[in-house]
Structure 1
Amino acid sequence: MASRIDRKLVVETALRLLNESGLDGLTLRRIAKELDVQAPALYWHFKNKQELLDEMATEIFRRLFRSTLPAGGPGADGRWPSWQEMVLRTCTTLRRELLAYRDGGKVVAGTRMTDDSFAAPLELFLSHFTAVGFTLTEAARAWWTAYNYTVGLVIEEQSVHPEPERPEVRDPSYDLDDRERRLGATYPLAARAGRTLFGDIEEAFEAGLRIIVAGIEANHLKGEGS
């Protein structure tokens, strides 16, 4: 029975079902039913749901790296971007790809890569930093900060807009008018801030990313002057 399926088919099915049911609704039993096999057949390939999530996250990154240029690669004009552009481009692409999957941010958060496909883009990203004078430690921390900001924001964004195919749909818990009515009299600043925090999330993401880029630059210049 196990020969009817392989790891690739299980992962492809899991990613498709993820958009239908979300992470909480994704179970090995549900995947087995979709594949028309008994649940134990899946255990030939994955011991538990966490192993499956690790492979799903790895496949998301494989698809990301196959469909886009590696971090810091040349643009259409053949030019290599500045490191600032590289960070902005890479994180914008990462966000877009994760948003294509329901709960995509949660799937990749805290999972372990099952192969080394991430290493080549990371090597290119770090080498682009070090080529312009960053130490490896600075480069690694810059990427780690920008990456975790992006994944964390996607998790928050997907709690506000949970359906990838209908991004205009907002969870009722994030009704901005209701939030302002509840908080306005006692916490006027917190009430008005909701429009910035949960209104145009794409604009908020870009603004936050620019803050991170500015911080990376300021920290690097401080190190050069010491």
Structure 2
Amino acid sequence: MPPKLDRAQVVDTALRLLDETGLDGLTLRRIATELDVKAPALYWHFANKQALLDEMATEMLRRMSAGPPAVPDTWQDAVAGTCRGLRAGLLGYRDGAKVFSGTRLTDSGHAGGQQALLAVLGRAGFELADAVLAFTTAYAFTIGFVIEEQAVHPMPGERAPGYDPDRRAAGIDPEHALAAAASRELFGDFERRFERGLAIVLAGIEASLVVSSTSANP
């Protein structure tokens, strides 16, 4: 194994190749070829592709968290800012949301940001269980939204085949006019749809969790 090959180099190469190959095409063999080593050399660092994906997701989060933290005025700003930052970070990589979803973070570097967010929610009156539920609900919305967004736009400015709104609408039986008309909403203006969806999530959290928290602690 070349002495200069380390985990960071493998992960950086994998993240760079991700834009070229997408998640399905990203293999340890492809990464090894790019690094000019034999595939078994990578197994010194990663037992399998899932272990590599875990480290890739962790590195993505490190990069998202770089820089001074924002100081939100309200819990809504804290949750919304976290979700917006997550979406922006994931959109920086082809299939970024798929890579991030379901992975296990390999270190505790995320704990500081999580602590700060939970503290904001706690000061707003959330019990810890409700604070966790609030954040994870908004997080799940963001991950799911970006997975669907990247299916339509694998890379900025690129539209995947099969996601043309007009063609979809034209291919639907006229008796299903509402389904046809929904094509532009399904496949267009993701920025507006994300913000509106996030506002709905925040309103739901406020209506169901903040009320219950404050009523439990008058």
Please give the TM-score of this superposition, normalised by the length of structure 2.
0.94
The match for 2:51 is 51
Higher mean C-alpha displacement, 212-221 vs 177-186: 177-186
Question: What does 1:57-68 align with in structure 2 at a 5 Å threshold?
Answer: 57-67=57-67
Counterparts of 2:33 and 2:209 in 1: how far apart (Å)? 53
Q: Which amino acid aligns with 1:89?
A: G
Q: Indicate how the Cα distance of structure 1 residues 41 and 221 shifts in structure 2: closer, same or farther if over 3 A, else same.
A: closer
Q: Indicate how the Cα distance of structure 1 residues 41 and 204 shifts in structure 2: closer, same or farther if over 3 A, else same.
A: same
| Residues 14, 26 of structure 1: 8 Å contact kept | yes
Q: Select the residue among 133, 144, 157 that pairs with 1:168.
A: 157
Counterparts of 2:98 and 2:158 in 1: how far apart (Å)? 19
The match for 1:208 is 197
What's the Cα RMSD here?
1.3
Q: Select the residue among 129, 134, 139 that pairs with 1:142.
A: 134
The match for 1:77 is none
Give 1:189 deviation, angstroms: 1.1
Give 1:4 deviation, angstroms: 2.9
The match for 2:123 is 131
Q: Indicate how the Cα distance of structure 1 residues 97 and 221 shifts in structure 2: closer, same or farther if over 3 A, else same.
A: closer
Q: For residues 54-97 of structure 1, give each alpha carbon's deviation from its aligned partner in whole angstroms, at most 9, with x where no partner exists.
A: 0000000011111462xxx32xxxxx321111122111111011
Q: Which amino acid aligns with 2:77?
A: E
Give 1:2 deviation, angstroms: 4.5
Aligned structure 1 segments of 4 or more residues deviating by more than 6 angstroms:
none
Please give the TM-score of this superposition, normalised by the length of structure 1.
0.91
Question: What does 1:32-51 align with in structure 2 at a 5 Å threshold?
Answer: 32-51=32-51
Q: Select the residue among 160, 181, 187 that pairs with 2:170.
A: 181
Counterparts of 1:21 and 1:61 in 2: how far apart (Å)? 21
The match for 2:73 is 81
Counterparts of 1:153 and 1:89 in 2: how far apart (Å)? 16
Identity of aligned residues (%): 53
Counterparts of 1:207 and 1:159 in 2: how far apart (Å)? 20
User: 2:11 aligned with 1:20, yes or no?
Assistant: no
| Residues 164, 187 of structure 2: 8 Å contact kept | no
Counterparts of 1:219 and 1:21 in 2: how far apart (Å)? 43
| Residues 134, 209 of structure 2: 8 Å contact kept | no
Q: Which amino acid aligns with 1:139?
A: A
Counterparts of 1:212 and 1:145 in 2: how far apart (Å)? 8
Consecutive unaligned residues in structure 2, runs of 5 or more: none
User: 2:108 aligned with 1:116, yes or no?
Assistant: yes
Q: Indicate how the Cα distance of structure 1 residues 42 and 132 shifts in structure 2: closer, same or farther if over 3 A, else same.
A: same
Q: Which amino acid aligns with 1:90?
A: T
Counterparts of 2:184 and 2:140 in 1: how far apart (Å)? 23
Higher mean C-alpha displacement, 188-197 vs 45-54: 188-197
